[in-house]
Chain A
Amino acid sequence: MADTPLLSVRELSMRFGGLLAVDRVSMDVAPCEVVSIIGPNGAGKTTVFNCISGFYRPTGGEVIFEGKPMHRLPGFKIARAGMVRTFQNVRLFKEMTVIENLLVAQHMQAERNLLKGLFLTRGFRRREAELMDRAAHWLERVGLIEFANREAGNLAYGQQRRLEIARCMVTQPKLLMLDEPAAGLNPNETRDLDRLIVQLKEEEGITVLLIEHDMSLVMGISDRIYVVNQGQPLANGTPEQVRRNPEVIKAYLGEE
């Protein structure tokens, strides 16, 4: 593991009334790693994601990103710091066009001075062109450029999932968090996704944190894996270590 982690989660806890959904989970993610979180259904994986990304405010513990505490910040500031995520279900802006989805995600990079947008200054137009270029670049990467002006809600399911990843990427994140990106994809699409994630890591230097049930995908692309069970950390290590861990096998297959 590299010496300075990009993301460091310390003793993260999330309590909903009497239910302790996440119980002191810690993890480190180094730059340019692909790290997966696995665990049985209801283990609290998504809750961990929700706490890290600012969708929930954790009831305990710390989330440190590039040395800065994140766990008290609102979601939009966490996103601006360089962490963006997808959800298990597709959450595109369905009534906006494909290109608009990518432009609106770059809102945070747009002019800080809101009034500038009202007057079509040269600077404004140049920035607008930059946003457009970046959007077009990512549409090309995920193979959706010919659908740029289609309403996002009218795309096929697999295309919508790819558009979501593109929408994250135009924000120029350092950490991309994907919550079950392969859910509902056919084997071909899963293979494309696999390739895309590897490319993001190798060509763009993106760090990826992944929740996934598709074990072949997880084992194939992860550098390290964290296993959670009933809200608690169970094991972590390389795919090989995790695969052989008797605790993990027990959690997944049950005890006899």
Chain B
Amino acid sequence: MEASLYFLQQVINGLTIGSTYALIAIGYTMVYGIIGMINFAHGEIYMISTYVVFIVIAGLSMLGIDSTVFLMAAALLVAVIVASAHAFAVERVAYRPVRGSKRLIALISAIGMSIFLQNYILLAQGSRDKAIASLIPGGWQFGGDGFAVNLSYMQVIIFAVTLLSMTVLALFISRSRLGRACRACSQDRGMANLLGINTDLIISMTFVIGAALAAVAGLLLGMYYGVVNPYIGFLAGLKAFTAAVLGGIGSIPGAVLGGLILGVAEALTGAYLSTEYNDVVSFGLLILILLFRPWGILGKPEVEKI
């Protein structure tokens, strides 16, 4: 009984982290789906939005505002706007000019952008950890005598917000005109363009959607961990990238599934082995999937046509 409650606790923790990985992973997978490049600067967009969350919450609190709902809403709104603006600018400046050239060039440009963004925050904000006020303390406890399972309110909020964001995204992609155009572009960009779809606009929109979801993750993880520094984007980006590859890069449901699996795998490793092995397990998973199923769990293998 105690053992299974302990296990349940790890699964809850894993799903919490995993759902935020999924939010970030969607940005990778959508961009890959539409222009076939890995946007390695995406993790930095998440990091920047976490800073925005920190600044907005700290600033408004100083002004004497203490309504949690208002603080969160304001932080989210500003973070989404700032993250979207950054992603839009990054695509315009660093990716669009090299879009026609070889894949490697776009990749190097992305890595350069990632280094640039990290250092630009480092200069502006310093390298020390900043603490984000914990706005939503407490939670529920249930379970037996030996071990009680903790489900914090913040975790519930993370699940709820993630679920809501995914639902909105799924409806947008499957039902709306822009979503339809987005799918058409990811299947055949050249043809979509010749049918009158402004593909550059659709690509910009894809970057903006990815950034907005990363900003949601920035708010949630920022409040969950309560700390931000300029380096968090690197690891979060790699983890989300792993999640995207695990699920099948280019597939949105795949990114979600990959994020959840990765989160749970990490939580279980931390609980039963040692938290020091977390990254070993996640990147070990990445290597295994690349070796044995490079198209991921829900992706489709690319068929070479002769």
Contacts and interface: CB of A to CB of B under 8 A. Distances in A.
B293 interface: no
Nearest to A124: B177
A117 B177 contact: yes
Contacts, number: 78
Contacts of B184: 93, 96, 104, 107
Contacts of A76: 193-199
Nearest to A108: B196
A107 B177 contact: yes
Interface string A169-213: 001000000000000000000000000000000000000000000
A85 B191 CA distance: 9
Most buried by A among B193, B196, B197: B196
A54 interface: yes
Nearest to A177: B194
B165 to A, nearest CB: 16
A168 B200 CA distance: 21
A96 B183 contact: yes
Contacts of A80: 196
A167 interface: yes
A55 B190 contact: yes
B188 interface: yes
Interface string A2-28: 000000000000000000000000000
B194 A100 contact: no
A42 interface: no
A111 to B, nearest CB: 8
A79 B187 contact: no
A85 B177 CA distance: 22
B149 interface: no
Interface residues of B, number: 20
Nearest to B198: A76
A147 interface: no
B181 interface: yes
A93 B197 CA distance: 13
A91 B188 contact: yes
Contacts of B188: 91, 93
B183 A117 contact: no
B176 A107 contact: no
Given A93-B187, A93-B188, A96-B187, A84 B195 contact: yes
Contacts of B190: 55, 75, 91
A91 B192 CA distance: 10
Interface of B: 176-178, 180-181, 183-184, 187-188, 190-200
5 contacts: A91-B190, A95-B187, A107-B196, A114-B178, A117-B178
Interface of A: 53-55, 74-76, 78-80, 84-85, 87, 91, 93-96, 100, 103-105, 107-108, 110-111, 114, 117-118, 167-168, 171
Given A79-B194, A104-B183, A118-B176, 11 more contacts: A74-B193, A76-B193, A76-B194, A76-B196, A91-B190, A93-B191, A96-B184, A107-B181, A107-B197, A108-B196, A117-B177
